[in-house]
Structure 1
Amino acid sequence: MKFAALTEPFADYPQLQQRVLSVLQALPDEVQRDFVDDPRFGTAIENYEPGKGWTLFMPTPGPPGETSRRVVLRPKLDSASEAFAKYIIAHEFAHAFLHNGGWGDITDVEEAADALAAHWGFHRPATSS
């Protein structure tokens, strides 16, 4: 599957870009297809600047039920431990796949994203370093 459009926003952070690609490649085909086939889904690098704030461009929502989805990752994931970075990336992709909703019997959106990321093989590490 082609993920260039989803990894391109991280080109200035090569290690992060590779980590995003690695996570995407590990996701189930159904999830990969959901992201690649959705014109309103994308990724972005957080560009916060103290005193200025940040900007984020989102595609406009479509018809009812067709929302925009964007996974925004921080540059510091480029230098974080690999396990922590991949967990965060998978967690954020889980939010996107679940449309920030629950998963199965799990209704809390954070717990649902954690559980789905773990189901995909990306468990929350004991530490973030």
Structure 2
Amino acid sequence: MSFTEYTAPFAEYPVLQQRVLTVLKQLPEDVQADFLSDERFRVEIDNYVPGVGWSFLMPAPGIDGNGSRCVILRSKLADASEAFAHYVIAHEFAHAFLRNGGWGEITDIEQAADALAASWGFERPA
């Protein structure tokens, strides 16, 4: 599977670009296929400017009411430990996969994203 579209925004941050690619490649095939088949799924670099804010183009909600599945990652993940960066990236991908909802019996969206990321092999570092 080609993830070029999802890693291209990180060209100026090669360490982060590789980390995003590493996580994408380790996701289960059904998750990869889900992301690749949904035009609302995107991965972008945080472009916050103090005093100005952010600028992102996000797809409008679809007919089914689901909104954008855009994952925004901060460039400082390139400087974080590899384990922590992988965890954060996987956690954010879990939110996108779950469409910011629960997972199984876990209704808290943060706990759900943590649990799903852990099931993919990306546990929160101690």
The two structures have a TM-score, normalised by structure 2, of: 0.97
What's 1:25 paired with? 25
Output the amino acid matched with 1:73. Answer: L
Question: What is the deviation of 1:15?
Answer: 0.4
TM-score (norm 1): 0.94
Gaps of 5+ in 1: none
1:19 and 1:43 map into 2 onto residues whose CA distance is: 13
Q: Is the 8 A contact 2:66 2:99 kept in 1?
A: no
- Match of 2:80? 80
- Please give the secondary structure, in 2, of the residue aligned with 1:16: helix
Give the CA deviation at 1:60: 1.8
Aligned to 1:9: 9
Q: Which amino acid counterpart does residue 20 of structure 2 have in structure 1?
A: V
Q: Deviations over 1:6-48 (max 9, x none)?
A: 1111111100000000000000000000001101110110011
Equivalent pairs counted in the alignment come to 126
Deviation at residue 66 of structure 1 after TM alignment: 4.1
Secondary structure at the aligned position of 1:63 is classed as coil
The one-letter code matched in structure 2 to 1:89 is I
Letter in 1 for 2:93: F
Q: Which runs of 4+ in 1 moved over 4 A?
A: none
Q: Counterpart of 2:110?
A: 110
Give me the CA root mean square deviation: 0.9
Residue 55 of structure 1 is matched in structure 2 by 55
The SS at the match of 1:72 is strand
AA of the residue aligned to 1:17? Q
Q: Which runs of 5+ in 2 are unaligned?
A: none
Residue of structure 2 in register with 1:68 after alignment: 68
